[in-house]
A and B are shown apart, each in its own frame.
Chain A
Amino acid sequence: MRTIRPLGPYRDIVEALSPDNSALVVKLGLRTDSFQQSVHNALRTAIAQYFGIVQDGLLQAAHAFRGLKRPLMHGDDMDADKSVIAYSWRPSLDYEWSGSRHDGNPVAKAPLSGRVFVVLVREEQPNEYDILGSLEHWSWIEEDGQLRDAPVDWKERYAEKLWSR
Chain B
Amino acid sequence: MNTSEEIGGQVRAALAGESGDFRPCAFFDVRLDCIRVIVRDCSVLEIRINEALTVLEDSYYQESGKRRYIGFTIKGAAHFCKRNGFDLSAPIDISRLLDAVLANFPGRLAELAVDGIARPLVEDTNIDSVDISGALPQPAY
A positions within 8 Å CB-CB of B: 1, 4, 31, 34-35, 37, 39-45, 47-49, 51-52, 56, 69-76, 78, 80, 84, 94-97, 100-101, 104-109, 111-112, 115, 118, 120, 122, 134, 136-137, 139-142, 153, 156-157
Q: Given A106-B11, A142-B45, 14 more contacts at CB 8 Å?
A: A1-B6, A37-B29, A41-B38, A43-B38, A43-B41, A44-B41, A45-B44, A47-B14, A52-B2, A80-B33, A95-B7, A105-B4, A105-B8, A134-B31
* A42: chain B residues within 8 A (beta carbon): 15, 18, 20-23, 41
Q: Within the complex, what minimum Cβ distance (angstroms) separates A70 from chain B?
A: 4
Q: Are B5 and A105 in contact (CB under 8 A)?
A: yes
| Bound CA span A95–B51, Å | 28
Main secondary structure on A side of the interface with B: mixed
Q: Out of B22, B30, B52, B60, which one reaches A41, CB within 8 Å?
A: B22
Q: Within the complex, what minimum Cβ distance (angstroms) separates B6 from chain A?
A: 5
> Chain B 20-48, CB within 8 Å of chain A: the 1/0 string?
11110101011111000010011111111
- By beta carbon, the residue of chain B nearest A95 is B7
Q: Out of A75, A101, A108, A118, which one reaches B15, CB within 8 Å?
A: A101
Q: Within the complex, what minimum Cβ distance (angstroms) separates B57 from chain A?
A: 9
**Chain B residues within 8 Å of chain A by Cβ, number:** 45
Q: Are A157 and B18 in contact (CB under 8 A)?
A: no
B positions within 8 Å CB-CB of A: 2-8, 10-12, 14-15, 18, 20-23, 25, 27, 29-33, 38, 41-48, 51-52, 59-60, 75-76, 78-80, 135, 137-138
Q: Out of B31, B59, B137, which one reaches A122, CB within 8 Å?
A: B31
